[in-house]
Chain A
């Protein structure tokens, strides 16, 4: 495919996006407006992540795309093949081999290392959006560090349900300053956001915002002293690899209520199985 520039976007656009990324890295957690372009995939399907990936990819990179933790979900396949066609970069499903990982809704189980970039697709970058629909207001709230509304919301959850009733896109505070939406990852993944060795970039195409976490940034999930944040997952081991420390999908296997639990991170699960770990639905020697 020769009719488009490397990684699809023209160099001017990439430069504009890189500037936004650098600004984002300089002010961790701050949402930088950028002139998002129409991409050849729909808004809401990862156009922010795709633009960020296009701006950071170099021909030497190895690219991995996951959606819901899996490399072979249809939209991950589609985005990966887009960059195969337009950038000709090497692709992989291995978390440790990838230099750039674009993700939707998950952080890989395997800890990332220095030199890697994790690019998140973000639908609604504004953590205060569902408390205040107006962008003009929420930007003001961020600049005044006025986050009382968010604490009231979390408090109301506790008074009504006994605990905070947010299970994904759980808000975090970055370096004691900006409240940030970590994208719709399950709150199980929140502890991985902080102190990560890799660069984390967040792209919201339709909403025209980029934000970032430089390596080893302090990221704290919002909570209260008497109701500390708790990362939760299904209380089972993986049926395929027996892992007890990974986030699990629940899979319905018959029409009589039968179900099994399996790692949402396919690379993690397959690597464990290749190393000989077998869960109870898979030969079972690691059945817990």
Chain B
């Protein structure tokens, strides 16, 4: 006997209770603290801040805990929280040239002013499971020395002095705001970069990789990759000058790309740019490659039809919160549409069946 489905409300409540229990796991095991996540899973925290577009390590750590380690779910929690925050204003542009670098490498010059600083990188670790970590490891202290004094100049500036790399003219036009205006195509570079910096890391990585394998190849060298903290300044109207309100850790990647020249541009090196919250270098490098691929039109290159060159394709599909929501919505009931499809298929089959019978008779 059919009974109309009731009790959706109770089912939802129970599902919430169950997931809360699952989140905690075995209560004989100590509960994770927000501080533990922030300090010991800091790269996960960085990704959540970057793609959540909100620089707050404690909130990101909370989101990771609440999401049971599902980073896209955590990013979603941060985004939903972020939209409710009032806006007091905008900061001055940060000066990455004044960055206190933890890491700064160039793949294009062996040595350069400011030096090569490896910093805390996985790069030359051997990827062998460290079973010592499974036991209670004691805290290790890395050797340290005084930071070299002075700013660390950008590598691209050296090339610029010789006129070998395209100019990046100073522009004071306020950039559009992706979170306050609907995305419309064609999108200028500032808007594309804004979308890319919060884009899904995996999607951006895949696109960047596709350019390396020939789908819109743009011959990128990592001119420079730097990670460190920069001061954030804000103009306070009442004071009439800007004051430092805090600092953020950023990863910046500038690629130097081979370019043989086009109808509108002379042979020179061209630029790709990535700037992402936190220590997120895979994302920053990917972003720079995709940025460069998307610039084909302004540099007078051919569109070879590569996915990474297609701004509409890239920008409309790079946001993992949009993507995961729409993907997962197919779990919702669709009985009404399915019913109308059932009737349509039955009708089509009746027609096809009648035709076959008739053909057999003939």
Q: Which residues from chain A contact B6 at a C-beta distance below 8 Å?
A: 72
Most chain B CB atoms below 10 A, which of A33, A168, A187: A168
User: Which A residue's beta carbon lies closest to that of B77?
Assistant: A40
> Which residues of A from 105 to 161 have beta carbons under 8 Å from B?
105-106, 123, 134-136, 161
Query: Is B12 in contact with A35, judged by CB distance below 8 angstroms?
Result: no
Query: Is A68 in contact with B335, judged by CB distance below 8 angstroms?
Result: yes
> Which residues of B from 81 to 125 have beta carbons under 8 Å from A?
82-84, 86
Closest Cβ of chain A to B303, distance in Å, is 14
Interchain CA distance A167-B339 in the complex, whole Å: 9
Cβ-based interface call for B70 (8 A): no
Query: Is A260 in contact with B2, judged by CB distance below 8 angstroms?
Result: yes
Interchain CA distance A74-B332 in the complex, whole Å: 8
Query: Is B326 in contact with A44, judged by CB distance below 8 angstroms?
Result: yes
Query: Is A42 in contact with B325, judged by CB distance below 8 angstroms?
Result: yes
Q: Interface stretch among B26-34, B37-45, B177-185, B263-271?
A: B177-185
Cβ-based interface call for B79 (8 A): yes
Closest Cβ of chain A to B88, distance in Å, is 13
From the candidates B8, B326, B341, name the one contacting A73 in the complex (CB within 8 A): B8
Cβ-based interface call for A96 (8 A): no
What mask results when residues 177 to 220 of chain B are scored 1 for a CB within 8 Å of chain A, else 0?
Answer: 00111111110000000000000000000000000000000000
User: Which A residue's beta carbon lies closest to that of B84?
Assistant: A4
Q: Interface stretch among B60-68, B275-283, B289-297, B343-351?
A: B343-351
Closest Cβ of chain A to B14, distance in Å, is 12
Q: Which residues from chain A contact B341 at a C-beta distance below 8 Å?
A: 167-168
Query: Is B180 in contact with A35, judged by CB distance below 8 angstroms?
Result: yes
Query: Is A250 in contact with B324, judged by CB distance below 8 angstroms?
Result: no
Query: Is B326 in contact with A206, judged by CB distance below 8 angstroms?
Result: yes
Closest Cβ of chain B to A53, distance in Å, is 16
Query: Is A72 in contact with B336, judged by CB distance below 8 angstroms?
Result: no
From the candidates B11, B183, B336, name the one contacting A168 in the complex (CB within 8 A): B336
Chain B residues bordering chain A, tally (CB within 8 A): 50
Q: Which residues from chain A contact B84 at a C-beta distance below 8 Å?
A: 4, 8, 10
Closest Cβ of chain B to A130, distance in Å, is 14
Query: Is B333 in contact with A73, judged by CB distance below 8 angstroms?
Result: yes
Interchain CA distance A169-B179 in the complex, whole Å: 29
Query: Is B80 in contact with A35, judged by CB distance below 8 angstroms?
Result: no
Query: Is B328 in contact with A187, judged by CB distance below 8 angstroms?
Result: no
Known contacts A43-B326, A73-B8, A74-B12; is-contact A68 B351 (Cβ 8 Å): no
Q: Which residues from chain B contact A247 at a C-beta distance below 8 Å?
A: 336, 339
Cβ-based interface call for B35 (8 A): no
Known contacts A44-B325, A206-B326, A234-B343; is-contact A35 B182 (Cβ 8 Å): yes
What mask results when residues 69 to 83 of chain B are scored 1 for a CB within 8 Å of chain A, else 0?
Answer: 000000010011011
Interchain CA distance A249-B336 in the complex, whole Å: 7
Query: Is A37 in contact with B83, judged by CB distance below 8 angstroms?
Result: yes
Cβ-based interface call for B358 (8 A): no
Interchain CA distance A250-B325 in the complex, whole Å: 28
Query: Is A40 in contact with B80, judged by CB distance below 8 angstroms?
Result: yes
Q: Which residues from chain B contact A266 at a C-beta distance below 8 Å?
A: 4
Cβ-based interface call for B126 (8 A): no
Q: Which residues from chain B contact A229 at a C-beta distance below 8 Å?
A: none
Query: Is B322 in contact with A43, judged by CB distance below 8 angstroms?
Result: yes
Known contacts A81-B9, A161-B348, A250-B342; is-contact A208 B182 (Cβ 8 Å): yes
Q: Which residues from chain A contact B347 at a C-beta distance below 8 Å?
A: 163
- If over half of B's interface residues share one DSSP class (helix, strand or loop), that class is named, otherwise mixed; here it is helix
Query: Is B325 in contact with A105, judged by CB distance below 8 angstroms?
Result: no
Interchain CA distance A35-B177 in the complex, whole Å: 10
What mask results when residues 75 to 108 of chain A are scored 1 for a CB within 8 Å of chain B, else 0?
Answer: 1111001000000000000000000000011100
Interchain CA distance A25-B3 in the complex, whole Å: 41
User: Which B residue's beta carbon lies closest to that of A184?
Assistant: B337
Interchain CA distance A69-B334 in the complex, whole Å: 11
Query: Is B312 in contact with A168, judged by CB distance below 8 angstroms?
Result: no
Q: Which residues from chain A contact B179 at a C-beta distance below 8 Å?
A: 35
Closest Cβ of chain B to A35, distance in Å, is 5
User: Which B residue's beta carbon lies closest to that of A71?
Assistant: B8
From the candidates A4, A68, A78, A135, name the one contacting B185 in the complex (CB within 8 A): A135
Interchain CA distance A135-B339 in the complex, whole Å: 30
Query: Is A186 in contact with B336, judged by CB distance below 8 angstroms?
Result: yes
Query: Is A77 in contact with B2, judged by CB distance below 8 angstroms?
Result: no
What mask results when residues 158 to 190 of chain A are scored 1 for a CB within 8 Å of chain B, else 0?
Answer: 000111010111000000000000001111100
Most chain A CB atoms below 10 A, which of B79, B340, B351: B340
Query: Is A33 in contact with B321, judged by CB distance below 8 angstroms?
Result: no
Most chain A CB atoms below 10 A, which of B9, B325, B339, B343: B339
Closest Cβ of chain B to A41, distance in Å, is 8
Known contacts A34-B182, A39-B80; is-contact A74 B8 (Cβ 8 Å): yes
User: Which B residue's beta carbon lies closest to that of A209?
Assistant: B182
Q: Which residues from chain A contact B337 at a C-beta distance below 8 Å?
A: 105, 167-169, 184, 186
Task: Please give 17 more A-B residue pairs, beta carbons under 8 A apart, in addition to A42-B324, A123-B326, A168-B341.
Answer: A34-B182, A39-B80, A43-B322, A43-B324, A44-B325, A70-B4, A72-B6, A105-B337, A135-B316, A167-B337, A186-B337, A206-B322, A206-B326, A232-B340, A240-B4, A250-B339, A266-B4
Q: Which 7 A-B pairs have CB atoms at the shortest separation, nearest pair first? A: A43-B325, A44-B329, A42-B325, A167-B340, A44-B326, A33-B182, A208-B182
**21 intermolecular pairs with C-beta atoms under 8 Å apart:** A35-B179, A35-B181, A38-B76, A38-B321, A42-B76, A42-B324, A43-B324, A43-B329, A67-B333, A68-B333, A68-B334, A75-B332, A104-B332, A135-B185, A167-B341, A186-B339, A239-B2, A248-B339, A264-B335, A264-B336, A270-B4
